Amino acid sequence: MSEAAVSYYGKPIIKEPVWKSEIPMCFFVGGMAGASATLSAAARVAGNHPLARRSLFVAAAGLTASPYFLIKDLGRPARFYNMLRVFKVTSPMSVGTWLLSVEGTSTGIAAACELFGVLPRLRATAQAVSGLLGPATASYTGALVADSVVPVWHEGRRELPLVFAASGAAAAGGIGAALTPARFARPARRLGIIGAVAELAAQKVMEKRMGSLVSEPYRQGEGGTYANAAQAALLAGAGLMLVAGRGRAGAVVAGALMAGGSWCARFSVFHAGKTSASDPTYTSIPQRARAGKRGRPAATR
């Protein structure tokens, strides 16, 4: 083959992720739930019980759905349970499985106590644990996908956890504002707006740092389609929340846009990764460029 060729017969150099659509759904509901848990705990400390109650139930719903999507992708529940047999601090998958389990358990206990109006001390303790773990739950999936050889994920390892956390905050704030009476929803509105703006900014910084070639899957194909939809929805949601979020209808529409934008952002990352792995261009050319900078010629066939 010529030096211009990127791989043998154009075949992929790395294996494309075998994940199905359940995984980005798991990313979305888990991120929303983690941010909602922290919002609920903060609202409880501030004495904003209507917002704390609604955000806690949103977190509990998300943390119930997240293992469902993960187990559905794994195929058998035993595969999820087997990951709890050991704890490896060097494995994002192991840490994430334990984190999701502890976060889900504490949030579930707090939500049950809240729903039935019992054991207030247990509820407070469980909610404190849930709120403290919320940021890690919202962002660990970004670290999980970055801990791979997929170029568009690995090269974005510095920003992806922030992108995921901000995206989860946008969804949590938007849904919290939509479900809570306006006079109690101000913290949720602020969280949603800040999360949306931070997600868009972090995404742009990540793409710029990766370079135009490696970040190309975020601008083309399915990854690009979802990325454009996420950007439009988050911008529209943040703008509407800012000008009309104090009204019930405005908060509901803005919250739906923010949640939809967060959902699209997760699917954008998912599809960009699949494209990046399947096309050897994104693996071979950056490798040669790095070899050239180190003063060694890239291997050729």
pLDDT tens-digit series, residues 218-244: 999 999 999 999 999 999 999 999 999
Give burial (CB, 10 Å; 0-12/13-18/19+) of 292.
exposed
Number of CB atoms found within 10 A of residue 225's CB = 15
pLDDT at 94 exceeding the cut of 80: no
Is the pTM for the entire model greater than 0.75? yes
Domain ranges of the chain: 8-293
pLDDT band at 281, cuts 50/70/90? confident
User: What is residue 282's predicted lDDT score, i.e. its pLDDT?
Assistant: 87
Over residues 136-145, the mean pLDDT reads 91
Any idea of the CA torsion for 238, 187, 175, 26, to the nearest 10 degrees? 100
Identify the CA nearest to 267 among candidates 19, 13, 15, 16. 19
Residues 232, 140: Cα–Cα separation, whole Å: 25
Q: 211 by DSSP, 3-state: which?
A: coil
The CATH homologous superfamily for domain 8-293 is Formate dehydrogenase/DMSO reductase domain (1.20.1630.10)
Over residues 34-38, the mean pLDDT reads 97
